[in-house]
A = this chain, B = another copy of it.
Amino acid sequence: MTPGHGRGTSELDRLLTLSAAEGGSYRAEIEDGWAIGPAVNGGVLLAMVGKALATTFEGRSHPHPLAVSGYFLSAGRSGPATLSTQVIREGRSMATGQASLVQEGPDGEPVERLRVLATYGDLSRLTGEVCTTAEPPALPDPGDCLSASAGGPGPAAAFIKRFDMRLDPATAGWALGEPSRRGVIQGWLRMADDREPDPIMLLLAVDAFPPVTFDMGIAGWAPTLELSAHVRAVPAPGWLRVRVSTRNLAGGLLEEDAEVWDSQDRLVAQARQLARVPTQQR
C-alpha cells in the first residue's frame, strides 16, 4: 500500500488516531499544517471531537454524527490534545453526548478549546425517502476551476495543501482583488491524498473553505464562535461540492452557511456558524 493512500495512513486518519487515556478520555496529536496561522482550523477540532464521540458511540450502534454543535472557547494549537466524552442519553435509534477538547496552556494548565453537544445515529439505517427542494451548486468542471493551492504562501498555505480545493471562478474574484460582494464561495473539495469522504470528514469539510467574508471584500480569517452541522447521509466516494454563503453581516458578526454535496448529488451535510467579522487586516 502506498504510504499516504491507505485508509489508516492518510493525513486525516493520522489526525483522527486516538489513543485511550486515563478516565475514559482520548489523546491525539495535531500535526503542523492543520492551522491557519497559529490557530488550528475549527473544522479540524470539530472532526477530532466528532471522532471521539463516534468511538464512544460505535459499540452502541450509533456510529455517525447526525447533529454536532461546537462552541469554540480558545484557539487550538499544533501539538497534543486530550478529548473527553460523556453519554447524556441513549435511545433506540439515537444517542446524545457531550465532549471537550483540551490542550495544555503556556503555564501547563489545561485550556479548553472546544465544547460540543452532539446526537449520533446510524445514517445507513435511515429510510431512503427524499423530498428535497435544494439543488447542488452549478459548478464548472474541476479542471476549469481555480486551484486554491495556487494562491501561494500565506497563513493558510499548509492547511490548503492537505486538500484538493477547486474554486468556481465566478465566486473567486476576491482572489484577484475583485470580490463579488454577493457573499458566496463555492467549489470542489477532496483530500489531497485521495482519502475518501465519510461522515467525520464532513465535519472538517463544512469549515475548510476560505471564509465567505473574502467574497464580501473583507480580508483576514473570521473566528468561529459556534458551528452546528447536520450530517444527512454517508457520502459517496469522490469529489464533494461545497457552497458557503452569508446573508446577514451585522454588528461585527456574521452567519456562514455551508452545504456539502456528494458525487451522487445528495446534500450530505449542512452547517451554520456564527463568526466574528475580521478586522480589516491580513
Q: How many residues of A contact B (CB 8 A)?
A: 51
Contact B115 A225 (CB under 8 A): no
Q: A183 at the A/B interface (Cβ < 8 Å)? A: yes
Contact B253 A233 (CB under 8 A): no
Q: A190 at the A/B interface (Cβ < 8 Å)? A: no
Contact A230 B274 (CB under 8 A): yes
Check A255/B270 contact, CB under 8 A, given A71-B69, A132-B247: yes
Contact A71 B119 (CB under 8 A): yes
Min distance, Cβ A185 to any Cβ of chain B, angstroms: 14
Q: A75 at the A/B interface (Cβ < 8 Å)? A: no
Q: A176 at the A/B interface (Cβ < 8 Å)? A: no
Q: How far is the CA of A89 from the CA of B255 in the complex (A)?
A: 22
Q: How far is the CA of A247 from the CA of B272 in the complex (A)?
A: 14
Min distance, Cβ A72 to any Cβ of chain B, angstroms: 9
Min distance, Cβ A120 to any Cβ of chain B, angstroms: 11
Q: A192 at the A/B interface (Cβ < 8 Å)? A: no
Contact A126 B253 (CB under 8 A): yes
Q: A131 at the A/B interface (Cβ < 8 Å)? A: yes
Contact B230 A67 (CB under 8 A): no
Check A225/B119 contact, CB under 8 A, given A74-B89, A130-B251: yes
Interface hits, A136-185 → B, CB 8 Å = 182-183
The 8 Å CB contact of A112, one of B88, B248, B266, is: B88
The 8 Å CB contact of A251, one of B94, B119, B128, B182, is: B128
**Which residues of B sit under 8 angstroms from A98, Cβ to Cβ?**
115
Q: Taking CB as reference atom, which chain B residue is nearest A249?
A: B131
Digit string of A218-259 for contact with B (CB within 8 Å is 1, else 0)?
A: 000000011010101100000000000011111111010000
Check A232/B251 contact, CB under 8 A, given A69-B71, A98-B115, A112-B88: yes
**Which residues of B sit under 8 angstroms from A266, Cβ to Cβ?**
250
Q: A15 at the A/B interface (Cβ < 8 Å)? A: no
Contact A117 B119 (CB under 8 A): no
Determine which residue in A74, A94, A123, A272 has the highest number of CB atoms from chain B within 10 A of its CB, and name it. A272
Told that A71-B88, A133-B182 touch, could you supply 20 new A-B pairs with CB distance under 8 A? Answer: A67-B225, A71-B119, A88-B112, A88-B115, A89-B112, A117-B226, A127-B252, A130-B251, A131-B216, A131-B250, A132-B250, A134-B247, A226-B228, A230-B272, A232-B248, A232-B250, A248-B267, A248-B270, A250-B266, A272-B272
Give the 6 A-B CB pairs with smallest separation, nearest first: A126-B251, A69-B69, A134-B247, A67-B226, A228-B228, A130-B250
Residue contacts A-B, CB under 8 angstroms, 11 given: A66-B274, A67-B71, A69-B228, A71-B118, A73-B89, A130-B251, A131-B250, A132-B247, A134-B248, A250-B267, A270-B272
